[in-house]
Structure 1
Amino acid sequence: MTSRFAQLAFTPGVQAHQREHGSDRAYRRMLDAPASADRLGADERRFIQDRDSFYLASVGETGWPYIQHRGGPRGFLRVLDDHTIGFADFRGNRQYISVGNLDHDDRVALFLMDYAHQVRMKILGRARVVEGNRDLAVEGYPAKVERTMLIEVEAFDWNCHQHIPQLWHVDDVERATEALRDRVATLERENAKLRGAA
């Protein structure tokens, strides 16, 4: 966990629970570090740009959090510099809840998952919508781009893998089993020939 993430997430109420349950000493030094935004390094860049989906949380005018799934081809979420990520916002169900929430509160949280390797990354940032912008469109992807969303990263955290189910993307399973399926097909043809010769 980065110091900046702890500074934003460990509110007085959170710290009270940490004291009550004995974890406050482990995190205390993070709160005393300088309050500067985290910089995305090489590991963060690779992880972010390899995702084909993530979850985006925003806060509504009623104070209720709202979480929405965003998906696209691998690499649609891009790292633009050490502090900025962005993506083409594809047309979905046209409820516009996230976009509407950002009109009054630009704070967002992103939850990025790699289920196959049981890794997750959380990002806190401030989002800005650029309506009608197609700068981050993905060539060859058929979805309609309605806008670009840019996020200034304030903090990120790599979480422990505990309790993450190990799941694989269907494309990865297809690639991993292709040779096995080819071998089975070959054996079935050979078997059919042997049966025909008998």
Structure 2
Amino acid sequence: MRTEAELREIVQEPSQTIWDKDIARIDEHARTLIAHSPFVLLATANSEGTCDVSPRGDPAGSVLVLDDHRLVLADRPGNHRLDSIRNVLHNPHVGLLFIVPGMNETLRVNGRATLVSDAPFFEDLTVQGKRPRLAILVEVEELYMHCAKAFLRSSLWRPETWPDRGSLPTLGRIAKDHLGLKEISAEEIDKGLDLDAETNQY
């Protein structure tokens, strides 16, 4: 399949209402959802189009809405790869998916991002006394609600459908195998990861 015409032979055109739901601004409803979302997925791509999706988590209300067309989120300490940040340097187009716990619908935002290392709003991005080193400022170009079907199909918010955590490998086990680490146990890696998670969140 190489053309949209071929694609539309399989999937019909959406109704005009589906296109019209993009309001391209942060209205009162979007502000409310952003204020209650502790978790957002950030999609970026480099200049060659190679994509990356990064999870971003902070206490609800930590993503700031500056006005009807701009929002900003802090860049917290991570693995120092800076995949998303480096992508934004070369390609400003980003996508955000805001998730509110227990809510099946999500808020989708697409726009252009810039990196900021200092601004008056950095004080409002401070969490647990830690001021971020960088922030991602997004100028909103598209904004619309995404329906509940994916969350309903996956039963994401139903604990009775969740797998037994004990049946899944720990990150230490995965890291040991992926990196071929022979001189350290998975348990030791897990202890180190747990300590880092507790002491280096911000």
Same fold at TM > 0.5 = yes
The residue matched to 1:100 in structure 2 has which SS? helix
Matched, 1:87 2:73: yes
Matched, 1:152 2:139: yes
Q: Distance in 1 between matches of 2:112 and 2:94?
A: 6
The residue matched to 1:110 in structure 2 has which SS? strand
The 5 A counterparts of 1:120-159 are 120-133=106-119, 135-136=121-122, 137-143=124-130, 145-159=132-146
CA contact (8 A) 1:88 1:134 kept: no
Percent identity between matched residues is 23
Q: Distance in 1 between matches of 2:63 and 2:113?
A: 14
CA contact (8 A) 2:70 2:140 kept: yes
CA contact (8 A) 2:104 2:148 kept: yes
1:41 Cα offset (Å): 0.9
Match of 1:167 in 2: 157
Match of 1:104 in 2: 90
Match of 1:5 in 2: none
Q: Distance in 2 between matches of 1:114 and 1:134?
A: 27
Gaps of 5+ in 2: 160-202
Q: Distance in 2 between matches of 1:157 and 1:15?
A: 25
The residue matched to 1:135 in structure 2 has which SS? helix
Give the count of matched residue pairs: 153
Aligned AA for 2:64? R
Distance verdict in 2 for CA 1:58–1:71, change over 3 Å: same
CA contact (8 A) 2:65 2:72 kept: yes
TM-score by length of 1: 0.67
1:133 Cα offset (Å): 4.7
The residue matched to 2:85 in structure 1 has which SS? helix
Match of 2:168 in 1: none
The residue matched to 2:121 in structure 1 has which SS? coil
Distance verdict in 2 for CA 1:21–1:28, change over 3 Å: farther
CA root-mean-square deviation: 2.9
Match of 1:24 in 2: 13
1:20 Cα offset (Å): 1.0
**Higher Cα Rg: structure 1 or 2?**
1
Gaps of 5+ in 1: 1-11, 170-198
CA contact (8 A) 1:52 1:72 kept: yes
The residue matched to 2:34 in structure 1 has which SS? helix
Match of 2:50 in 1: 64
TM-score by length of 2: 0.65
Aligned AA for 1:43? H
Q: Distance in 1 between matches of 2:156 and 2:76?
A: 28
Q: Distance in 2 between matches of 1:80 and 1:162?
A: 31
Match of 2:33 in 1: 47
Distance verdict in 2 for CA 1:44–1:14, change over 3 Å: farther
